[in-house]
Amino acid sequence: MEWVTHSAWETEALAARLAARLSAGDVLAFTGGLGAGKTAFVRGLCRGLGSPAPVSSPTFALMNEYRGGRLTLYHFDLYRIETDDDLAAIGYYDAAGAPGAVTAVEWSENVPEAFGEEVIRVRIEPEGDDVRRITVEGVDGFEDSGT
């Protein structure tokens, strides 16, 4: 399903609605270049899950963990990651297999072989200063939830 948003806030709100559709074990693999709005989307996911934790880019930390919501949210940024071994080393597979948690992965295109048919794909394409085309694949029923 595809949406066009016109502000970071609108992207967050879309993500917050998507959060209601997530269940434990889900992995969201983001693609979209620098500044596309991936972290903004994850901020909305965190809010939608009910966690009060502030979301920041894990570009340097590699992984952030947000607790206190319906599900724990693990947030990875693969900007500096190149191989599946690196991915394992930063704890991706532990997070993706953790009970009661969902995992969001920025720059998933850096290790494409790690993200197959089973993941939820979120593609964010800038179409202007504040305009983003957001495509989500792999969430049953989200199409009907309204925007």
Q: Residue 21 and residue 80: Cα distance in Å, rounded?
A: 30
Q: Which is nearer to ligand ATP, 97 or 137 (CB)?
A: 137
Q: Which burial class, exposed, middle or buried, applies to 132 when counting CB atoms under 10 A from its CB (0-12, 13-18, 19+)?
A: buried
Please work out the total of residues on this chain that contact Mg ion, with binding judged by CB under 5 A. 4
Using CB under 6 A, which of 48, 49, 87, 106 touches ligand ATP? Answer: 106
Is there binding between residue 31 and Mg ion (CB under 5 A)? no
Using CB under 6 A, which of 2, 3, 20, 35 touches ligand ATP? Answer: 35
Is there binding between residue 147 and ligand ATP (CB under 6 A)? no
Using CB under 5 A, which of 11, 31, 39, 72 touches Mg ion? Answer: 39
Q: How many CB atoms lie within 10 A of CB 31?
A: 20
Q: Residue 11 and residue 83: Cα distance in Å, rounded?
A: 30
β-bridge pairing 72-77 and 63-66: antiparallel
Q: Which is nearer to ligand ATP, 7 or 83 (CB)?
A: 7
Q: Cβ distance 105 to 30 under 8 Å? A: yes
Is there binding between residue 127 and ligand ATP (CB under 6 A)? no
CA angle in degrees (0–180, nearest 5) for 19-124-3 = 65
Is there binding between residue 56 and ligand ATP (CB under 6 A)? no
Using CB under 6 A, which of 11, 31, 51, 72 touches ligand ATP? Answer: 11
- Residues in 67-106 at the binding interface with Mg ion, rule: CB under 5 A: 106
